[in-house]
Amino acid sequence: MKFLDSPPRFLFFTGKGGVGKTSIACASAVALARQGKSVLLVSTDPASNVGQVFDLEIGNTITAVPAIPGLSALEIDPEQAAEAYRERIVGPVRGLLPEAELASITEQLSGSCTTEIASFNEFTALLTDTGDAIAEFDHVLFDTAPTGHTIRLLQLPGSWTEFLNDGKGDASCLGPLAGLEKQREIYANAVDALADPDRTRLVLVSRPARSPIAEIARTHGELADIGLTHQHVVVNGVLPEPQGDDALAGAIYRREQAVLAGLPDSLRSLPLDIVELKAANMVGIDSLKTLFATAEPATAIVTTLDSDPLPEVVDAPLEVLVDELAQSDHGLIMCMGKGGVGKTTIAAAIAVALARRGNDVHLTTTDPAAHLEGTLDGQLENLAVSRIDPEEATAAYRERVLTSKGSALDEQGRATLAEDLKSPCTEEVAVFQAFSKVIHESRRKFVVVDTAPTGHTLLLLDATGSYHREIARQMGKNTNFTTPLMRLQDPAQTKVILVTLAEITPRLEAEGLEADLQRAGITPWAWVVNNSLAAAQPTSTFLRRRAANEIAEIDAIAAAPRRRLAVVPMLAEEPVGAEALEALSHGLEEAVVPHI
């Protein structure tokens, strides 16, 4: 692999959700450790599954991987980081301030902005070698969150440095003002490390499909704009040339090769590695050792699949769920799940099906990396499409605040307010307000939300919970009020649909998300198993081996009592446009839906 030739100390793996960043990062860490290097693998994804890959409990402390000498791993747990951060601020004044004031400070530090900054501080500490425990590692590999969240993370050193240089800072996010000089130095050093090609290499990971390739092309430009120019491209999961006459395998292969032949010029100039698709899931060290091999060992072939039929998959078309949703004429429908499971496709298919039935539908996304317009490929009667863009939402929020609060201030006061609004924390409030507006709109029409990947969505829901607690505190016990969280908790108003793949990691993550939602008082309404090879019944031995791995996962999902379930087969062509999306809900079995 070219990206592992003479690697610098820091390697970042980024890309659209579901492209295999974790598998590539873990396999790279194993490969370097087997060369005798001391390696630390760090996950900055709020929904990390590094522990699942190694079958090891990792968490927020550096943990050795016993089976691979020299390899350790660390998952930056956002909640643990936020709790430690709050304690560093509140602890020194506990017993010195009244309880009411302590409670107010704690509440101010309970939002997703604090979670982001706490995680970010741990990230910058790794980049700047502030901890003695980090100095011993030859390489530090970062398995990052999906692209939009990662770009935000990589931009933050510059954002906070600029904010601290220009303003006084916000104690609710950064802590006591006396510590800002130290923070400024740390953030400036982080910027230097990220921009230094001798210390940092960016690995853009994609699948051989239209949407993730477009995503890394955009990422390439955005990262180059902030000084991160030393980049490599890895296209993961490329189907080997099929043997035999399986139409499904042939369609996948031809489409993927066309995507590779048509790489954007901006990516062609970068070093490129191709990683072949493997029949087995990349879970466990033995599997990771084979990921970069160009051909699978002969012992992996399951010859009985040449003749034995695959077990039948439960007949559960998406249309059945749409029919039940359409019994009402309004409501909020939220598609959630791990990055790359096809939330955009499923959300668009549901929205199109509801609009075709004559309902007024608004399809929107909170995912910074979503491509709704490309999926719909045109307009449809009764269907409006939008996107909650963090930059646009933040700019609009700043303008509203300056117009309202700023109107009563003098010139100096307006300047101070404008400076405060430059804080990266402003984005949290702005996105939350845009999300709340969408929730409110669902009282009179269908609003279908394609959410960001799991970790980012949980941070948004955390902001929703913080707002609810603050309103409840201000309004008191005997006052009637309705917050966005209360609408999300009402099954008559909100239907949460968990989208997953028939693979162990997405299934376990969906189950974890379900548990998180239930703790917040939100019960998922249905599950959708997307992109199922088993449901498509392939004849290629290679694809049948992958399909056979799905059966146990689908059975495990279907076994839950009273769980609504839909299974969407792979399709031969991308479901782009209203006609193809509507057909998707009927369960066509003709080839592959790429990860969108």
pLDDT digit of tens for each residue in the chain (596 aa)?
899 999 999 998 988 777 888 889 999 999 999 999 999 998 877 566 777 788 788 877 889 999 899 999 988 776 777 777 778 777 777 887 788 777 766 766 665 556 666 766 777 777 776 556 677 899 999 887 644 445 555 555 455 445 445 554 444 444 433 344 556 666 677 777 777 888 889 899 999 988 889 888 988 888 888 777 889 999 999 999 888 788 888 988 998 999 999 999 999 999 999 999 988 777 778 888 888 987 554 434 444 444 567 777 888 899 999 999 999 989 999 898 877 788 888 999 999 999 999 999 999 887 655 566 667 766 788 998 888 777 787 888 788 888 887 788 888 878 777 776 766 557 666 777 777 788 788 889 999 988 865 445 555 555 555 544 554 554 455 555 455 666 778 888 889 999 999 988 788 888 888 888 888 788 899 999 998 988 888 888 888 888 888 998 999 999 888 889 999 988 877 777 777 787 777 754 433 444 44
Instruction: Let me know whether 243 and 294 are in one domain.
Output: yes
Q: Are residues 488 and 567 in the same domain?
A: yes
What is d(CA 507, CA 505) in angstroms, rounded to the nearest whole number?
Answer: 5
293 shares its domain with 340: no
Q: Are residues 352 and 238 in the same domain?
A: no
- Does residue 364 sit within a domain? yes
Last residue of one domain, picked from the residues 251, 268, 300: 300
Domain of 201, CATH number, reads 3.40.50.300
* 339, 278: one domain: no
- Both 96 and 213 in one domain: the answer is yes
458, 516 in Cβ contact below 8 A? yes
Alpha-helix runs per DSSP H in 262-371: 265-268, 285-290, 318-325, 343-356
Does 325 lie in the same domain as 262? no
Residue 461 domain boundaries: 318-387+424-584
Same domain (yes/no): 12, 77 = yes
Cα-based distances in Å from 496 to 213, 338, 440: 29, 14, 16
> Is 493 among the domain residues?
yes
Together in a domain, 435 and 462: yes
Go through 139-167 and write b for each residue having 16 or more CB atoms within 10 A of its CB, e for each that does not.
Answer: bbbbbbbbbbbbbbbbbbbbbbbebbeeb
List the catalytic residues: 18, 20-23, 45, 505
Could you tell me if 69 and 172 lie in one domain? yes
Please identify which residue in the block is written with the tokens 């698709």. 277
Same domain for 278 and 350:
no
Looking at residue 339, its pLDDT comes to 73
Any domain includes 403: no
How many domains does one find in the chain? 2
- pLDDT computed for residue 61 by the predictor: 82
Which of 300, 331, 352 marks a domain boundary? 300
Domain assignment present for residue 442? The answer is yes
Say which residues have a Cβ less than 8 Å from residue 186's Cβ, sequence separation at least 6.
124, 125, 128, 130
| Identity of the amino acid at 368 | P
pLDDT for position 116: 62
How far apart are alpha carbons 106 and 102 in whole angstroms? Answer: 6
Domain identity same for 355 and 287: no
